[in-house]
Amino acid sequence: MFLEEEKQLLKMLTVEVVNLIERKQLNSARESDELECDQFYIQKHDLVFKKYEECVTTYRFIKDKVYQKLLV
């Protein structure tokens, strides 16, 4: 009887350990996905900011040209 209870407890513990390992692997995968997602948004933000800077530079260039034409 005692041996049967030990086997049952061992089986339950094994299931718990397997669940914990799977949960840890799932969390690790989720953290990896979140990191990739963060990096993607940082890259997108950098790209958008770069485009914004290009637009501002172009706008200022055109504005200066127009201003120079008006002065002449």
Condensed to tens digits (0 to 9), the pLDDT of residues 35-63 reads 888 888 888 888 888 888 888 899 889 88
Q: Supply the pLDDT for residue 1.
A: 56
Percent of the chain with pLDDT over 90: 0
**Whether residue 4 has pLDDT greater than 60:** yes
CA distances for 37 relative to 19, 50, 51, 69, angstroms? 26, 20, 21, 48
**Whether residue 64 has pLDDT greater than 60:** yes
Residue type, 19: N
Please give the Cα distance from 31 to 66 (Å, whole number).
Answer: 52
Q: Supply the pLDDT for residue 44.
A: 85
Confidence of residue 2 (pLDDT cuts 50, 70, 90): low
Query: In sequence order, what E strands does 1-72 have?
Result: none
